[in-house]
Structure 1
Amino acid sequence: MRILAFIFGFWMAATAAFAQDSDAIENVIGSQLQAFNDRDISEAWQYASPNIKGLFGDPNNFGMMVQRGYPMVWDNADVRFLELRDLGGMLWQKVMVRDAQGGLHILDYQMVDTPQGWQINGVRLLPAPDVGA
């Protein structure tokens, strides 16, 4: 019985920690999306991981990449957070974004826990789900 109680307690603690991570991750992604809407590239840059910062070098290069490669992120009209998943030790947050023209897009954000808190380590556009009649 004690083993069951221990396992249950461990599971509850892990679930609570995952929920805290989920809230923090949603806050980071939401803040970056708002920064893009505000055209505050320096602010959006703050949510990028050291790896992303190393790839792009400065906020302007990063902003141009997002504007050209992820127009639905650059001009987002609505955001809904879907599931947070642990895939091979990395946390991935699915996000549904409505672009300025009303189109829906599903993005997968890879998150990394840094000394500065959660940061975005990459984003990939997922294929649109099939919608049946």
Structure 2
Amino acid sequence: MLVRYVAVVLCFALCSLTAVKAEDPVANAQAVISSQIAALMHDDAEKAYSFASPGIRSLYPNKDRFLDMVRKTYEPVYHAGNYAFGRSKMIGGGEVVLQEVMISAREGKDWTAIYEMRLMDDGSYKVNGVRMIRNTASQGI
């Protein structure tokens, strides 16, 4: 009986440790950003739009209008050359993640994009806005 009890406690302890490691808000937000940038680089409007928050979707109610906005307003993201993640900041325990992304655009200019990532009720992160800064060095968040 004692052996079963110890086995059950050990199982719960190991499962808890795995769950804690799997839930990294910054890594999850970065994965969404990378996926959206990849979709934009391949002109996959539907996939790129799927990463937009409900607030963004209310402003751009379909994928074509969303992609037009990205093309006009966020050209360095739309045609990102190389990019790297910089600093990040969690607000409210991860309800919001601000993520700095340094982008080397195709025209050779460097940009910093500050992504606002919102945690959704289903546990996923969605892009809730991007602020573009023309610069050459990280300014922090």
Distance 1:87 1:56 in 2: 26
Distance 1:64 1:70 in 2: 10
Among 37, 42, 51, the residue aligned to 2:41: 37
Partner in structure 2 of residue 72 of structure 1: 76
* Deviation (angstroms), 1:128: 1.7
Q: How many residues align?
A: 116
* Superposition TM-score, scaled by structure 1 size: 0.78
Partner in structure 2 of residue 6 of structure 1: none
Among 31, 34, 59, the residue aligned to 1:55: 59
- What code does the residue aligned with 2:110 have? L
* Superposition TM-score, scaled by structure 2 size: 0.74
Structure 1 residue 86 corresponds to structure 2 residue 90: yes
**56-65 or 96-105: which moved more?**
96-105
Distance 1:86 1:126 in 2: 20
* Deviation (angstroms), 1:90: 3.1
**84-93 or 63-72: which moved more?**
84-93
- What code does the residue aligned with 1:126 have? I
Indicate if the aligned counterparts of 2:29 and 2:97 stay in contact, CA closer than 8 A: no
SS at the partner of 1:39? coil
Partner in structure 2 of residue 109 of structure 1: 115
Distance 1:79 1:44 in 2: 17
SS at the partner of 1:78? strand
Deviation per CA, 1:8-53: give whole Å up to 9, x if none.
xxxxx9xx77x81111111100110000000001000011001100
Instruction: Structure 2: give runs of 5+ residues left out of the alignment.
Output: 1-16
Runs of 4+ in 1 over 4 A off after TM superposition: none
